[in-house]
Amino acid sequence: MSPLDLLMQEHNLIAKLTTIIKKKLPTIKEKKANACLIQKLIDFFVTYGDKTHHGKEEDILFREVGQKDLSDELRTILAELLEEHVQAREKLKKLEEANTEYSNGDELAYEKIIRVLEDLVIFYPEHINKENNHFFKQAMEYFSDLELETMTKEFAEFDRSVIHEKYKAVVSAIGS
């Protein structure tokens, strides 16, 4: 499987969750979601969407493609994607803060949760579309078959390390 295939599979799962959230938003707006559900969404987007997926993009793909003699257009898109990753992290931080406030009894924080979820269901599909249709395929053309194979192996190793980091942190948090 190529790096492109792997990243697009991850996009499909992220897109699937954003579609589910969008469908459930009317119910969530009626305060029919609890802090536990919101925490599961946060965990997915932070661990899978950001640390795993964006991590592979930034630490491997973007690093490697950034060393290539890219067209000005592709280099501009790369900068935009990096900025969008920062924006995603900021949105997730707001969601986590609002969920903590809500869990601690602040009923007004629920509106913040709704606003961030509404933002995420717009943000992620647009971001995924930009990567899938305006960056990934074009970027892959800059790599040889050997470079792509090496990148695929690096992706696999990256995935293995993320899961270990997550659960070491869980054990550490429980122990403190």
Q: What is the pLDDT of residues 123-153, one digit of tens each?
A: 999 999 999 999 999 999 999 999 999 999 9
Domain containing 94 equals 3-171
Copy the structure tokens of residue 24: 């459930």
User: Residue 165 falls within a domain, yes or no?
Assistant: yes
CATH number at residue 60: 1.20.120.520
User: Residue 101 falls within a domain, yes or no?
Assistant: yes
The verdict on pTM exceeding 0.75 is yes
**Per-position DSSP letters for 140-176, written without gaps between them:** HTTS-HHHHHHHHHHHHHHHHHHHHHHHHHHHHHHH-
List, in order, residues 6 or more apart from 72 with CB less than 8 Å away. none
Our count of domains for the chain comes to 1
Copy the structure tokens of residue 131: 């990567």
User: Residue 176 falls within a domain, yes or no?
Assistant: no
User: Residue 110 falls within a domain, yes or no?
Assistant: yes
**Per-position DSSP letters for 99-125, written without gaps between them:** HHHHHTT-TTHHHHHHHHHHHHHHHHH
- Please give the mean pLDDT across all residues of the chain: 94
Residue numbers of the chain with a pLDDT score lower than 70 = none
Q: What is d(CA 111, CA 102) in angstroms, rounded to the nearest whole number?
A: 9
* For the chain, counts of helices (H) and of strands (E): 8, 0
> Three-state SS for 138?
helix
Residue 67 sits at φ, ψ, to 5 deg, of -85, -5
